[in-house]
């Protein structure tokens, strides 16, 4: 397998012990062919970018788009670009809105394993992960079976050693859930919700879930919780959820008359801005415009009741702008 600390190193497990090796100069280890190949043939991201540099210089941070290291004698000093800028390894400079290349997930072992490998989910007995293109895709065994890491397959619980204990379900506060089968906001995110169900003792319990990408959770006038297009939901939590994982993206800011925006990276807000000359920001096009934008997501609360009629209530976000 790849040594995550350097692209030209590999690790072989023998009798439970790691044996490491290094490719010849100019070669990187290819986890798919399990061989050393020319470095130009491999798109490698190392968790320790300074380890393989023989000279002093700069290297990109493998875990963030705007981070970099200054490497000296194999050791690195970390730095970060200013808000809204990403590091360009080719020019060794911070560039505004520079496209962000794929980064390593520090918590995923699929960074070092070949595609097609099945591994045990460390958070459950019946869960497992499938490595594909550096990502861990989550699955669960059916019929209450447990995943066997030794066999790489689902098996009866009595045949699998698993010390993981499922956490107890969350208990709803009094009057928080009106009935079994209802959905309520999680009060911590724009897209999160709880599903209410009755336990064996009659106590109402909560099961957490998230709306699909591009939708936020919303409780309508009838008290029914639904997932709606994000432009149709006003939310006071971080609106950058699910945005900015491949490059910096912008989102309308809540309750500002649709004039401003927030900069999103890796699902969180990293900065704010306002359109010039009184223009409006359109989250769907990622541009400032003279066209009046009146998404429910960003209208000023006091005006939201009257403006809501101007916003389409269909699931098609492309119909949510109005002419000036």
Instruction: Indicate if the alpha-carbon torsion angle 240, 78, 50, 53 is positive or negative.
Output: positive
Query: What is the Cα Rg of the chain in Å?
Result: 25
Residues 61 and 83: their CA atoms lie apart, in Å, by 16
Residues 169 and 180: their CA atoms lie apart, in Å, by 15
Q: Is there a contact between 1 and 10 (Cβ–Cβ < 8 Å)?
A: yes
Residue 37 CB coordination number (10 Å): 15
Contacts of 103 (CB under 8 A, 6+ apart): 45, 62, 63, 64, 65
Residue (of 192, 191, 220, 226) closest to 206 by Cα position: 192
Residue 305's H or E segment, with its range, is helix 301-307
| Tens-binned pLDDT, residue by residue, of the chain (324 aa) | 777 667 777 878 777 677 888 888 888 888 778 889 887 787 666 666 776 666 688 888 877 888 888 888 777 888 888 888 888 888 888 988 888 765 655 556 676 677 788 888 877 888 888 887 767 788 888 877 889 988 888 998 889 888 766 667 788 888 888 788 899 999 999 999 999 998 888 889 998 888 988 999 999 888 889 999 999 999 999 999 989 877 889 999 998 999 999 999 888 899 999 999 999 999 999 999 999 999 999 998 754 443 333 333 334 433 222 222
99, 101, 190, 230, 269 from 235: Cα distances, Å? 28, 30, 6, 9, 14
Domains of the chain, start order: 9-96 (2.170.140), 109-159 (2.170.140.10), 170-230 (no CATH), 239-319 (no CATH)
pTM of the predicted structure, to 2 decimals: 0.47
Residue (of 111, 118, 114) closest to 135 by Cα position: 111
Q: Is there a contact between 252 and 234 (Cβ–Cβ < 8 Å)?
A: no
First to last CA, the chain: 59
Contacts of 212 (CB under 8 A, 6+ apart): 227
Residue 128 CB coordination number (10 Å): 22
Residue (of 102, 49, 38, 101) closest to 71 by Cα position: 49
Contacts of 319 (CB under 8 A, 6+ apart): 312
Residues 269 and 271: their CA atoms lie apart, in Å, by 6
């Amino acid at each position: 397998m790849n040594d995550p600390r350097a692209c030209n190193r590999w690790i072989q497990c023998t009798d439970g012990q790691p044996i490491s090796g290094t490719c010849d100069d100019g070669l990187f280890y290819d986890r798919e062919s399990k061989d050393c190949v020319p470095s130009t043939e491999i798109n490698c991201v190392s968790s320790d970018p300074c380890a393989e540099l023989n000279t002093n210089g700069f290297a990109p941070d493998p875990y963030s788009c705007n981070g970099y290291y200054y490497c000296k004698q194999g050791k690195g000093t970390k730095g970060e670009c200013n808000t809204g800028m990403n590091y360009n390894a080719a020019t060794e400079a911070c560039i505004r809105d520079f496209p962000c290349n794929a980064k390593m997930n520090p918590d995923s072992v699929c960074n070092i394993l070949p595609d097609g490998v099945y591994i045990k989910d460390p958070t459950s007995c019946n869960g497992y992960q499938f490595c594909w293109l550096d990502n861990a895709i989550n699955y669960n065994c059916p019929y209450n079976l447990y995943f066997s890491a030794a066999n790489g397959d689902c098996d009866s619980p009595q045949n699998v050693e698993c010390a993981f204990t499922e956490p107890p379900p969350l208990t709803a506060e009094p009057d928080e859930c009106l009935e079994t089968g209802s959905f309520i906001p999680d009060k911590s995110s724009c897209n999160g919700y709880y599903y209410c169900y009755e336990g064996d003792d009659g106590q109402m319990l909560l099961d957490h879930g998230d709306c699909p990408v591009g939708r936020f959770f919303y409780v309508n006038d009838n008290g029914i919780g639904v997932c709606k297009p994000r432009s149709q939901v006003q939310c006071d939590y971080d609106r950058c959820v699910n945005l900015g994982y491949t490059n910096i993206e912008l989102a309308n800011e809540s309750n500002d008359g649709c004039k401003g925006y927030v900069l999103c990276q890796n699902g969180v807000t990293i900065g704010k801005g306002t359109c010039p000359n009184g223009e409006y920001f359109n989250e769907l096009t990622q541009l400032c415009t003279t066209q009046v934008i009146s998404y429910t997501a960003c209208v000023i609360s006091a005006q939201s009741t009257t403006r809501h009629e101007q916003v389409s209530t269909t699931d098609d976000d492309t119909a949510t702008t109005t002419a000036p």
